[in-house]
Amino acid sequence: MNKLKVIGIVLVDQGIKQLMISRGVFQLNPGIAFGWGNQWQWLWLFFNLGLLVWLMLKFKLNFPLGLIISGGMGNWLDRVFRGGVVDYIFLPFLPVFNLSDALIVAGGVSLMYSLVYGSKSNFRR
């Protein structure tokens, strides 16, 4: 995955969120996860940005990291410009979430699979 694809995924994510906001079908999550940590919003912004930059500089941008970085950037932009993460997928058996959250989880699962069954050289810069 290249940086242009990451940017494209982030733009799609932000477009969907804007559509959900305009339709009034969303929940704003000011916290870190599940609404926890509202009082540390500013700290999370800096930590998240630092983590995203570190991932991009330290590792080769492969598919799993591309998903994680795309999702992280989407949620980071929400925190900066909307004051919290815009969640819009409501399922009865899960907490409310969004595409960025799904990308982060899918990237994490894919990363774990790659680390266990794939070549470690895929992650070196």
Dist CA 37 CA 80 (whole Å):
16
Residue of 73, 75, 87, 97 marked catalytic = 87
Q: Which residues does 73 contact at the CB level (< 8 Å), separation at least 6?
A: 6, 10, 52, 100
Q: Is residue 87 flagged as an active site residue?
A: yes
Residue of 6, 79, 101, 103 marked catalytic = 101
CB contact at 8 A, 3 and 61: yes
Q: Is residue 78 flagged as an active site residue?
A: no
CB contact at 8 A, 67 and 106: yes
Catalytic site positions: 87, 101
